[in-house]
Amino acid sequence: MIELAEMIGQLRAELARAMTAAEGEELRFGLGTVQLEAEFSVERSAGGEGRVRFWVVEAGASGQAGTSATHRVTLTLEPVLRDSGARPWVGGAEAEGER
């Protein structure tokens, strides 16, 4: 399992890679709303800080994760560029193994 923040970070890195691949390409795609669906488990740590962590369940796993039931969540992300607030452009040549 990975933490929800790590999964979103990996998605951000892939989108940044797609933006770089689009530079100089004649055909590009404007990135609209991104919907991300994941099953996750919630874990509350014992101790003074009482932190709650969201763990994304690996594909194919379901039911119980330890002593926590899994839940499904759909996140709607609106990607924008930090400096301009504009929507990013993605696209470019297909990478090996990409569908």
- Exposure on the CB side of residue 29, measured as CA atoms within 13 A: 10
pLDDT per residue over 16-71, tens digit each? 999 998 888 888 888 899 998 888 887 766 666 667 777 787 655 554 444 556 78
Q: Model confidence over 60-85: pLDDT tens digits? A: 555 444 455 678 888 899 999 989 98
β pairing state of 68-77 and 89-91: unpaired
Q: What is the pTM of this model?
A: 0.66
Stated length of the chain: 99
Residues 57, 68: contact at Cβ < 8 Å? Answer: no
Q: Which sequence spans correspond to the domains of the chain?
A: 2-91
